[in-house]
Each structure stands twice: as structure tokens, then as C-alpha cells.
Amino acid sequence: MSKNFTQNYMADELGIDGANYGRLERGETGISVDRLKKVAKILGVKTSFLIGDKTNDESEESLKNGEILKEILKEIKTIRTKLTQ
């Protein structure tokens, strides 16, 4: 199941503009703990999962959501590429 979140959707949910969200996604700017928590909530994953902490025992659902996150980021990058062509 793919959630098909767009960059604009994520930006709106986080209360920031698309350009700022793009910088977050590309790692060009930092992210606050509060904003990271919002991203985790939107995506339905644990905050620790987003930062790559594998010491916690992740549930099967969290692992599925992590795969969804990878798909979402891939789709966002594909959309951005198509828009810039």
C-alpha cells in the first residue's frame, strides 16, 4: 500500500513551504525534533526509525511503513524530476 504523499502534501502537513520541504528532503537544512516527530506521525512510523536507530525492536508494521517511506521518497524524487524536464 503506497500513501502517495507528494512534496506539497508533506510541506502543508508540516506547515512549511515546498521549497523548505525540498531542502529538508535533500538534507540541505536541519530538522527540529518537533518537526521530525510530525513527519513520523504523518508517515505512521517511530521517530527512531526515521533516524535509523535499529536498537529498538521494530514491529512488522513499522518495517512495512519504512518500506512505504522509501517508496514515497522515490516517488517524490521521480515527480520532481519530471517537473524539471
As a whole number, the mean pLDDT across the chain is: 77
d(C-alpha 3, C-alpha 71), whole Å: 9
Cβ atoms 49, 68 nearer than 8 A: no
C-alpha cell of residue 46 = 517511530
Host domain of residue 39? 7-84
Q: Is residue 41 assigned to a domain?
A: yes
Rounded Cα–Cα distance for residues 78 and 52 (Å): 23
Residue 2 placed within a domain: no
Percent of the chain with pLDDT over 70: 71
| Count of the separate structural domains present in the chain | 1
- On whether residue 76 sits in a domain, the answer given is yes
pLDDT tens, residue by residue, 26-66: 888 888 888 888 988 888 888 887 777 655 555 555 556 66
Local structure of residue 8 (DSSP, 8 states): H
Q: Is position 31 within any domain?
A: yes
